[in-house]
Amino acid sequence: ESDPANAHWSLDLAQAQTAVGRLLLQLSRAGDARPVLSEAVETLERLVAGEPEWARARVSLVESLCVRGRADRAEGDLVEARQAWDRAVTVSRGVADDQPTVLSLLSAQVNARLLLGETDGVQADLDQLREAGALTAENRDLAAEAGLSVE
């Protein structure tokens, strides 16, 4: 049952929307993914604004922004893509020092930076993720596209 006033329910919904957007993007349906992802980002922005220290919401926002930026890029909207990725990097800074959260956030930040074409300092972050066993398939794919090593 829906409960938009419940922050945890809203977070779960936004995460589901991000997953749907990611799937639509994989199916080459970026035009269909963009509104779904925009709704997820709006919800997550509201949640983070209301509770800035809620790390799970911040990680979800960074991930949603990265996926939305990829959908924007697929639709040829490079300005919107860059804005989404820039926002993802900004949101990823300054989260509580909780190791699993920090690693999730670092992983999402690495993706955003690689999507922006930034490689300075990313190799050290990739190495940290690899050593912690937190390197994701998306980290690996984006690193390979950028010519960085993950082994």
For the stretch 51-77, pLDDT in tens is 888 888 988 998 999 999 999 999 999
| Residue 53 neighbours by CB under 8 Å, 6+ apart | 96
Identify the CA nearest to 86 among candidates 54, 59, 43, 118.
Answer: 118
| Residue 87 neighbours by CB under 8 Å, 6+ apart | 65
For 3-40, the pLDDT digits (tens) are 667 899 999 999 999 999 999 999 999 999 999 999 99
* pLDDT-derived band at 98, boundaries 50, 70, 90: low
| Residue 151 neighbours by CB under 8 Å, 6+ apart | 130
3-state secondary structure of 136: coil
Identify the CA nearest to 106 among candidates 82, 130, 83.
Answer: 130
Task: Look at residue 1 in the predicted model and tell me its pLDDT.
Answer: 55
Is-above-0.85 flag for pTM?
Answer: no
Identify the CA nearest to 112 among candidates 59, 148, 44, 66.
Answer: 66
